[in-house]
Chains A and B, each alone.
Chain A
């Protein structure tokens, strides 16, 4: 079951904030967030695990509501470099579960 992402697209001015949401209909063990720029491979941003542990390496924050199977990615004080398509990937509880990615959210930051 592919996760649902919202919004589909968003345009921001530099310095503005944005929130991208991801929801799933199944019980989740983890949520992965990636950003992809045009013509490039998706780049890892953050992973959120059941129990609240977060692993990431950029100045981007996220939350994971385990009860609602929802995650949100928070982009604050956006920069031009934040432009790209953001994908969330959801992973179930089975050790054999695969990561399924949502359709993506296109984010454009303009001067």
Chain B
């Protein structure tokens, strides 16, 4: 079955702009989580959506937001981009119940200039 699909794969934005990233989870998965990865910082949890509701949120400013649609596809938005937002943004899908495997997408590489 198809894996987790993220678009776009690469993008360059200017400081102050906003960006929207998209994620299509594995068919049947209802949970989508977003992580930010920067060099040397590991995988920082942004938020998780389950059945269109935000179930968990990490310690990121309000400029980072997301949503999930009825077909489980998810988008995350970053407004008023800062240079420090340059990172790999990873989407992960799972069934949403404890102990189930999380599958990552290829990620969206965001560069803010």
B33 with A98: CB separation less than 8 A:
yes
CB within 8 Å for A42 and B98 given contacts A96-B55, A98-B45: no
Interface size, chain A (Cβ < 8 Å): 28
CA distance A106 to B56 in the complex (A): 28
Distance in angstroms from A1 CB to nearest chain B CB is 12
A40 with B102: CB separation less than 8 A:
no
A42 with B99: CB separation less than 8 A:
no
In this assembly, does B105 line the interface, its C-beta being within 8 Å of a C-beta of chain A? yes
B56 with A98: CB separation less than 8 A:
yes
- Within 52-107 of A, Cβ neighbours of B (below 8 Å) are at 55, 87, 89, 91, 93-104
A99 with B33: CB separation less than 8 A:
yes
**Scoring B residues 77 to 109 as 1 if CB is less than 8 Å from chain A, else 0, what string do you get?**
000000000000010000001111111111100
B90 with A42: CB separation less than 8 A:
yes
A29 with B98: CB separation less than 8 A:
yes
CB within 8 Å for A87 and B98 given contacts A41-B106, A98-B56: no
| Identity of the chain A residue whose Cβ is nearest the Cβ of B48 in the assembled complex | A98
Interface size, chain B (Cβ < 8 Å): 22
Distance in angstroms from A20 CB to nearest chain B CB is 14
In this assembly, does B43 line the interface, its C-beta being within 8 Å of a C-beta of chain A? yes
Distance in angstroms from A36 CB to nearest chain B CB is 9
A103 with B101: CB separation less than 8 A:
no
Q: In the complex, which of the residues B41, B101, B106, B107 contacts A32, with contact meaning CB atoms closer than 8 Å?
A: B101
In this assembly, does B62 line the interface, its C-beta being within 8 Å of a C-beta of chain A? no
- Within 5-45 of A, Cβ neighbours of B (below 8 Å) are at 29-30, 32, 34, 40-44
| Identity of the chain B residue whose Cβ is nearest the Cβ of A43 in the assembled complex | B104
- Scoring B33, B48, B99 by chain A CB atoms within 10 A of each residue's CB, the highest score goes to B99
List the 3 shortest-distance A-B pairs measured between CB atoms, nearest first. A101-B43, A98-B56, A41-B104
Residues of A near any B CB (own CB < 8 A):
2, 29-30, 32, 34, 40-44, 47, 49, 55, 87, 89, 91, 93-104
Residues of B near any A CB (own CB < 8 A):
33, 35, 41-43, 45, 48, 55-56, 58, 90, 97-107
